[in-house]
Amino acid sequence: MNYWPLLGVLVVIIGFMRRWNPVLVVVAAALVAGAAAGMSPARILTEIGEGFSRNRYLLIIILTLPVLGALERAGLREHAQNWIAGRKSVTPGRLMTLYLALRQAASAIGLTSLGGQAQTVRPLLAPMAEGAAQAKHGRIGPETRARLRAMSAATDNVGLFFGEDIFIAFGAVLLIQGIYAENGIVMEPLHVALWGIPTALLAFAIHAFRLRRFDQALAKAIADENARGDDGHA
């Protein structure tokens, strides 16, 4: 077995450790691995082009990041925070429960890229949760802000993880079906996806209960922070 192509992995490690341009690092790693495998320059470029063509749908996610960065510079987080602060009936837990339902529903039909840590949690969900907490309890300290951001990220993860298992064409569903088939157990991907529905519903109920408890604990945490005189800015 030829282990020389693994030099490409070394290039990636060194490039990321040195904080070089990620695109150049990946391309350089591909060239090194291809050359070590005895491929011609034309063959290497062909493989890179075909790989790009097969995975071009990933560009949809990548292209959203500069747009979100521009919106954040224009005050997206502040506008979201101020808008939700005017809704006195909205609590962080209720807001996250609504997001959890939408995230699970979208993931269940394969729209996993509609949300995410970079696309939704950082610019929208976390600031809105902070705004809802401020509207409900007044000034919040850095510890509470960190808890709100962590719970926002966790809510996104729960919605995605348990929602995408319902989508019949999701890779994990096909992987499960393949493992069963290798062991002589005949099971269609549809059966795996159907069994994912009660799991997703149970996960929603459990996390929604956690969010309700989170709302109840938030008031005490904020009161304790204010008693210690913690600064609410972050």
Q: pLDDT tens, 161-217? A: 999 888 877 777 777 778 788 888 888 878 888 888 999 999 999 999 999 999 989
Across 106-132, average pLDDT? 86
What single-letter DSSP state applies at residue 115? S
Q: Are 28 and 44 in contact (CB under 8 A)?
A: no
Model confidence at 2, pLDDT cuts 50, 70, 90, reads confident
What pLDDT score was predicted for residue 188?
82
Across 79-108, average pLDDT? 86
What pLDDT score was predicted for residue 66?
67
**Domain range list for the chain:** 4-54, 63-228
Residue 133: pLDDT over 60 = yes
DSSP letters, 132-179, are: HHHHHHS---HHHHHHHHHHHHHHHHHHHHHHHTTSTT-HHHHHHHHH
Residue (of 151, 146, 142) closest to 99 by Cα position: 151
- 60 vs 218, which has greater pLDDT? 218
pTM for the model stands at 0.67
Q: pLDDT tens, 107-117? A: 888 888 778 88
Across 103-126, average pLDDT? 86
What pLDDT score was predicted for residue 67?
67
Q: pLDDT tens, 19-52? A: 888 778 888 998 999 898 888 888 888 887 777 6
What pLDDT score was predicted for residue 71?
66
Cα–Cα distance between 168 and 193 in angstroms, integer?
Answer: 6
Across 213-222, average pLDDT? 88
What pLDDT score was predicted for residue 112?
82
Stretch among 86-100, 129-143, 161-175 having the lowest mean pLDDT: 161-175
